[in-house]
Amino acid sequence: MSSSPHEEGQRNGAFSGRVTASILLAFAALLAIATSRIEYAFSSDPLGPQAFPYLLSIALAICAAWYFLRPGAADPWPHSQMLWSAFSLIAVTAIAVGIMDYVGFLPTAFIICSWAAYLFGSGPAGALGIGAVQAAFWFALFKYGLGTYLPAGTLFFPG
């Protein structure tokens, strides 16, 4: 009826391993399709641009099948709260980066740093403070210290 945590972990690993293997298998198939669509006029070598990717997709398919049959051990997948916070970190970072050309580097850095600080245990006020200090410091260092281009944001500084 009840199973030991160890067995649980193994069964968990087997399941997520099979999921990964299936994804890899699908990926190998997609790769083969994408390879068949590579356009080129001619190649100066007899193998051509498609030989390597085809070879790799076949090898990946074989390995994925093997992995599906023998999934081995894996870390248990995290519970929902953890998964949610990891997802939020990725999503917040990706969205903030996605709007960087529009809003500029400073707001982007502020959002990312504040959210990361908050997730790693800082209080809301502290997190905002960390975000502000980090954004200002790295902006000053890269923009004025190293002279690199950082977007000012078309929202506030329409070109």
- For the segment 84-123, give every residue that binds another protein (CB under 8 A): 85-86, 89-90, 93-94, 97-98, 100-101, 109, 112-114, 116-117, 119-122
Shortest CB 25 distance to another protein, Å: 11
From candidates 78, 136, 140, 156, binder to another protein by CB under 8 A: 78
Please count the residues of this chain forming the interface with another protein, following the rule CB under 8 A: 75
42 binds another protein (CB under 8 A): yes
Torsion angle (degrees, nearest 10) of CA 71, 9, 87, 29: 10
124 binds another protein (CB under 8 A): no
Query: Counting Cβ atoms within 10 Å, is residue 29 exposed (0-12), middle (13-18) or buried (19+)?
Result: middle
53 binds another protein (CB under 8 A): yes
31 binds another protein (CB under 8 A): yes
Residues 6+ apart with CB under 8 A from 106: 135, 136, 139, 153
Query: Counting Cβ atoms within 10 Å, is residue 138 exposed (0-12), middle (13-18) or buried (19+)?
Result: middle
